[in-house]
Amino acid sequence: MIEPISFKQQELIAKNLFKACQDINKLNGTGYKFINTASGFIAHYNIHGFKDYYSEHSLQNDIEQNARFNMWSNFHKGDDNYEYYMSRKAVYQRVLGLFAAQEFIKKHVIHVIIK
């Protein structure tokens, strides 16, 4: 049985991935381990190869494009490792939520301040 990712660790991973989307050099080992094992991400030899690739490509775009493959909807309560995959889903959803919040602020909050 694979141990689910704790809520605290989920938050740390999500925040790190969000920061790495703005500056790939902020990606740490924990964020890398999570995203490198997510569906849709190409294999790299190590974190340095991953950072090198995403210094020229959009990590946020790839996270968004691969979202539906990382919801683990094929797992159901009672299945082996269900809680683990749902904790991975929660991390992925948190990252997507941070993207949505950022877009909302850009469109609405900043616009209101400028008026």
pTM across the whole model:
0.89
3-class DSSP state of 106: helix
**Based on the structure, what is the number of domains in the chain?**
1
Domain annotation covers residue 1: no
Domain annotation covers residue 101: yes
Domain annotation covers residue 80: yes
Q: Strand locations in the chain, DSSP E?
A: none
Q: Which domain holds residue 103?
A: 7-114
- Reported as a single tens digit per residue, the pLDDT across 39-98 is 999 778 899 999 999 999 999 999 999 999 999 999 999 999 999 999 999 999 999 999
Domain annotation covers residue 79: yes
Domain annotation covers residue 44: yes
Domain annotation covers residue 96: yes
Domain annotation covers residue 2: no
